[in-house]
Amino acid sequence: MKKIAVLGFGTVGSGVVETIDINADVITQRTGGITVKYIVDVRDFPDSPYAALVTKDFSVVENDPEVSIVVETIGGIGVAYDFTKRSLKAGKSVVTSNKELVATYGYELMALAKENGVSYLFEASVGGGVPLLRPLKTCLNGDVIKEIYGILNGTTNYILTQMFQNGVSFAEALATAQALGYSEADPTADVEGHDACRKACILTSLVTGTHITQDKVPAKGISGVALEDVEYAAQLGYTIKLLGRCVFEGGKAYSYVAPHLVSRNELVSGVNGVMNGIVVKGNIVGETMFYGAGAGKMPTASAVVADVTAIATNVRAGECFEWSAPSDVSGDPAELKTKWFVRVRGELEAELAGTADGVSAYVTAEMSEKELQTVLSGAEVVSAYRMIG
């Protein structure tokens, strides 16, 4: 029987504790048994059926040799970083859903885990309940990964879907997302692309085997997406999606996050609402897509508990989640060539132009962002999106 502690009894942490209860029978069959010995949180939960397990003192966990696995679902890079390091140093494996921590200190924490003969696993940090990181490193291990792109953030996908399907503005769609609990009170990390950026960093790090820092992955969010863009995209047979994209070419990784016009023929164009959909292109397998609930209490708990069971059955299971300290493998994504959809105030020399309120819209030939900037120099650019498909 493995004893675990759950740090942070919020959305994901409470889902983890409940999952271990709901699926106790099969988890016992598969692992010999997992039981939650402590829940660490800053709050009390007097009405919870798990109230007796709650403590505010992390050192109780740290100093208890019976606890072999710690689940960190606090979030952020403050106390979560401290508790993770202390757990690993105390010889306990750590499982997390905390993408910010993995994207910021992943390599250091993985090295610390290795040094202490334990694991640091984070399947839930990208794609929530969608199995992605482990399949990428196991089922696709015979391939050279050429590209990964997809919808990595459910909140922004919900907002864009609302704009497309119901013709509502960004601000109205954001308000609905907040009312439904899909978006946090401060939506900045989601709408400005920071959350998707952290996930793109994790995916790129996993593929390159070297830690990719957030400053190497430029991120643009969706707050500038206008209903006019949505209308033009629909007329062209496209939709608008916030994509994290990582292209692996010539020994370099080109990663970025930005809203794209995606052809309706592409698989990710049909990924709507809060769902995530990630396309992985390998040189042998071709194109595969991973689809499912990218967030939410139980889907995310599903991935966390799977990591816990992996450790419970094989303490070294974490070895496929591994990369080294940052090194110079990042290329400039501005060099990647795609078609572009641009709207400018006034007219440009181009084949395709529509007009609305003095604004002209164009689809360009394939070109890099740098080449586009040269073409558009002097023009007043209203919006510019890369196109997929």
Ligand X SMILES: NC(=O)c1ccc[n+]([C@@H]2O[C@H](COP(=O)([O-])OP(=O)(O)OC[C@H]3O[C@@H](n4cnc5c(N)ncnc54)[C@H](OP(=O)(O)O)[C@@H]3O)[C@@H](O)[C@H]2O)c1
Q: Which residues bind ligand X (CB under 6 A)?
A: 7-13, 40-43, 73-75, 79, 97-100, 124, 128, 295-296, 300
| For the chain, counts of helices (H) and of strands (E) | 13, 15
Rounded to a whole number of angstroms, the minimum distance from the CB of residue 194 to ligand X is 11
Whichever of 13 and 331 has its CB closer to ligand X, that residue is 13
Whichever of 164 and 182 has its CB closer to ligand X, that residue is 182
Rounded to a whole number of angstroms, the minimum distance from the CB of residue 149 to ligand X is 20
Cα–Cα distance measured from residue 117 to residue 293, given in angstroms and rounded to the nearest whole number: 32
The two beta strands, 354-356 and 275-282, are unpaired
Whichever of 124 and 136 has its CB closer to ligand X, that residue is 124
Nearest partner of 90 among 5, 13, 10, judged by Cα: 5
Rounded to a whole number of angstroms, the minimum distance from the CB of residue 97 to ligand X is 4
Written as six digits, the tokens of 349 are 């020399």
Rounded to a whole number of angstroms, the minimum distance from the CB of residue 58 to ligand X is 7
Whichever of 5 and 361 has its CB closer to ligand X, that residue is 5
Cα–Cα distance measured from residue 5 to residue 50, given in angstroms and rounded to the nearest whole number: 12
User: Residue 246: helix, strand or coil by DSSP?
Assistant: strand
Residue least distant from ligand X (Cβ): 10
Q: Is 297 a catalytic residue?
A: no
Could you tell me which residues come within 8 angstroms of residue 220 by beta carbon, excluding any fewer than 6 positions away?
192, 193, 256, 257, 258, 259
Quick count: other Cβ atoms within 10 Å of Cβ 9?
22
Rounded to a whole number of angstroms, the minimum distance from the CB of residue 155 to ligand X is 10
Written as six digits, the tokens of 119 are 């694991």
Rounded to a whole number of angstroms, the minimum distance from the CB of residue 96 to ligand X is 7
The two beta strands, 286-293 and 275-282, are antiparallel
Contact 121, 194 (CB under 8 A): no
Rounded to a whole number of angstroms, the minimum distance from the CB of residue 93 to ligand X is 17
Whichever of 102 and 279 has its CB closer to ligand X, that residue is 102
User: Residue 118: helix, strand or coil by DSSP?
Assistant: coil
Whichever of 282 and 294 has its CB closer to ligand X, that residue is 294
Task: Convert 331-348 to b/e letters by CB count within 10 Å (16 or more is b).
Answer: bebeebebebbbbbeeee
Q: Which of 199, 216, 241, 297 is catalytic?
A: 199
Residue found by looking up tokens 């592409």 in the block = 266
Whichever of 195 and 322 has its CB closer to ligand X, that residue is 195
Question: From residue 12, how far is each of 97, 129, 273, 302 by CA, in Å?
Answer: 8, 11, 20, 9
> Which sequence positions are flagged as catalytic?
199
